[in-house]
Structure 1
Amino acid sequence: MRNWILPEYISDVLPSEARQIEALRRKVLDLFACYGYEQVAPPLIEYVESLFTTDDSALDLKTFKLVDELTGRQMGLRADITPQVARIDAHILNRQGVTRLCYAGSVVNTRPDGVLATREPRQIGAEIYGCAGVAADVEAVELMFESLALAGLKSPRLDVGHIGLFHALADEAGLKGNHRAEVFAALQQKDLSTITEVTAAIAPELQAALLLLPSFYGGHEVLAKARAKLPPLAGVLAALDSLDQLTAALQLRGIVVHFDLAELRSSYYHTGLVFAAYAHGFTNAVARGGRYDSVGEKFGRSRPATGFSMDLREFSSLPFPSLRSGVLAPGGDDVALLAAIRALRSAGDIVVVDLGVLASEVSVDRELKRVDGQWQVLPLATAC
């Protein structure tokens, strides 16, 4: 039996990748702190009921489950951290004003989100609770772009949609249950034949509107087309108004918006604006986010909420300039040597004591040597 074989879509994180991930994690969390976000660290495992914000079959399927031997209750390994943060905001912090929270940690999925995806992403994200205005969405997008810049991505593309358009049309058409879910799924695939078939019994103008959603793709002109062709329902107009406001604010920040009004690929709890960032060389979206105003309802306190998240492992192959090489020091109990090593580490240097390492296998480019009775840092003869 080859007991070193890992499950499919699960992999080890080796030293160079782990160092890259950790360095980026620290930088992104420092960025979040500069915006006023407070870090929380929910547990990896909880009773399964608290891992979902609603009766969410899709997230349920992605969650590994086991029985707690202490209580006999079913527990789950988190597949998404946002429901946990919503629980903290709603039930533990219970603040009255706007709350900014951030997090970084592993999640585990029963199935990957894509062909090249891992089942153990390193999720990092930021969320704003208590603000229903577009200003919170603008901050979330701006912070997402700043985070991607730290990861080394140049000019990612922003795609924006709004689930409120679908919900307004579906409510007006009376779509419920399986029919509503089928149309929702077909819109994500831009499957017009399925939409036509499932909505055959609804009002023709509403069926036409649902079929039009996938055609609303492009720049700011898309919003004008949607206003002209979609029914003037209150939910439709409110969604388009918020997209107009978002676009104007992001343009002031140098962020170009592309629209896909059938873009409903989001986490399962999103209720309104959804957005995703794409970059050259990446198969899937490099970051996703949106508005989820009912996310805390299950925990007894529904508050407006918006935010984004990304997987740090996606960026481990990108060059990251802050990775530093260290100093190779000899072993031994010489007091002056120990003092020199301690001083270097206190100053922030990496010092690797030579207990039989090969310089070619570790990241060192200098060495600590005794010269004229003094310990000095010198260039390594064969830097690696």
Structure 2
Amino acid sequence: MPISETWLLPDGVADVLPEQAGVIESLRRVALDYLASRGYQLVYTPFIEYIESLSSLSESNQDLDLVTFKVIDQLSGRLLGVRADMTPQVARIDAHVRSVEGVARYCYAGTVLHTKPQGFSASRTPLQLGAELFGHDSIDADVEMVDVMLGLIDKAGFLDGVHLDLGHVGLFRSLIKFAGLSKADERQLSDLYQRKALPELKDFTENLKSGSDFYALGRYSTDLEALQENLSLEILANAEFKAALDELISTRSQIQLRWPALHIGIDVVELRSYHYHTGLLYAVYSPNRAAPLAKGGRYDGIGEHFGRARPATGFSCDLFALTAGQFKKIELVVAPKGHDSDLVQAIADARQNGLSVTQLLGNDDLSSVPYATHKLSNVAGKWIIEQI
């Protein structure tokens, strides 16, 4: 490779410069402090570990398996995985490392690595921040998690104009079970729902058992009232289907009480990673952004791979994406060289007041600090800060 190209980075990987890094770091601190105030305890997880540990999710989520980098450990000869999502690692902690009884709440923030971008203009090295709640299978836990997610989005300054999307994979799963459909039909339906291909859905469901219910699920996916009017009495009486529907309606009502100005949408055929998720799904969107600001859902039984199945719900977001386009003006004060006690005290006072101060070295002058915005000057025997 020519020397002129050695500084180039791989596609989907980028440096973060000071003007944006300051914004990201400020939000990370605010977010983690907020999560701590809600009772979520911070954990750090290793960047790489044995693939068997990370496969607790990839066994049920092929998409995650495909974006996980795999390498051979030069010490043991075993296959290692670079974390593409921190949820399976936190599940391992809950199952074995810190296996507390009752409800456990954790939060985290760290870089993950993807083999390919997970969306248009997405990074392959997202800075993932999230929260997980283990040990409670009631709708109250889901409501708490959605409430925490919205609170974090509010702290990030995005709540005005955003909307929350709610779904529940239990509706689709229970209908599949009720109709006794094959895996091939299940995959075909999932694809049609994801593509919102209503004409194809109508044709495909005409010869299926409970075909009218499958069509109604797609046709009225965003209108719960119309959906219930067009579903058969048999499926509405089905215990599993009814439980999922009631959970979705209850969650919408409870979130609306907490966030009365929030627009809440429903999509019962939002089936992202439905083999992995087991219940409620939630995502929050901002105008003019195709990707969600944050998303999550319920994934009961996640610890089964580690020998301790636990109900769980959680969400995550990418701090890089959340702060995209935001930059912080850097203010830097330059102090002259010297060891005079008054100068040393003036520098210490300025730093104590939250200012960034750098002192000149050797024979340097102001030109050696190109990003300086202010200088510390001695005026009539008193050190003052002046704009450059």
Q: Does 1:375 align with 2:383?
A: yes
Give the distance between the partners of 1:51 and 1:375, measured in 2 at CA. Answer: 57
Question: What SS is found at the alignment partner of 2:302?
Answer: coil
Give the distance between the partners of 1:75 and 1:247, measured in 2 at CA. Answer: 41
In structure 1, what residue type is equivalent to 2:140? A
User: Equivalent of 1:49, from 49, 52, 58?
Assistant: 52
What's 1:344 paired with?
Answer: 350
Query: What are the Cα deviations for residues 61-86 of structure 1, in whole angstroms up to 9, with x where unaligned?
Result: 11011000000000011111111111
Query: What does 1:1-384 correspond to in 2, within 5 Å?
Result: 1=2, 2-54=5-57, 55=59, 56-153=61-158, 154-192=160-198, 202-203=208-209, 205=210, 207-218=211-222, 221-222=225-226, 224-225=228-229, 231-232=235-236, 233-253=238-258, 254=260, 255-266=262-273, 269-317=276-324, 319=326, 325-355=331-361, 358=367, 361-362=370-371, 365-376=373-384, 378-380=385-387, 382=388
Residues matched between the structures, number: 376
Sort the Cα spacing of 1:222 and 1:74 in 2 relative to 1 into closer, same or farther, 3 A.
Answer: farther
- Name the TM-score, length of structure 1 as normaliser: 0.89
Give the distance between the partners of 1:60 and 1:333, measured in 2 at CA. Answer: 58
Give the distance between the partners of 1:155 and 1:354, measured in 2 at CA. Answer: 47
Question: What SS is found at the alignment partner of 2:56?
Answer: coil
Sort the Cα spacing of 1:72 and 1:347 in 2 relative to 1 into closer, same or farther, 3 A.
Answer: same
Sort the Cα spacing of 1:309 and 1:344 in 2 relative to 1 into closer, same or farther, 3 A.
Answer: same
- Name the TM-score, length of structure 2 as normaliser: 0.88
How many Å apart are 1:202 and its aligned residue?
Answer: 4.1
Give the distance between the partners of 2:274 and 2:123, measured in 1 at CA. Answer: 17
- The answer to whether the 8 A contact 2:198-2:219 is kept is no
Deviates more, 1:48-57 or 1:190-199: 190-199
- The answer to whether the 8 A contact 2:94-2:134 is kept is yes
How many Å apart are 1:151 and its aligned residue?
Answer: 1.9
Query: What are the Cα deviations for residues 3-31 of structure 1, in whole angstroms up to 9, with x where unaligned?
Result: 12211121111111111111111011111
Aligned-pair RMSD on alpha carbons?
2.6
Percent of aligned pairs with the same amino acid: 41
In structure 2, what residue type is equivalent to 1:288? K
Question: What SS is found at the alignment partner of 1:52?
Answer: helix
Give the distance between the partners of 1:293 and 1:226, measured in 2 at CA. Answer: 30
In structure 1, what residue type is equivalent to 2:33? D
Give the distance between the partners of 2:331 and 2:274, measured in 1 at CA. Answer: 39
Residue segments in structure 1 that go unaligned for 5+ positions in a row = none
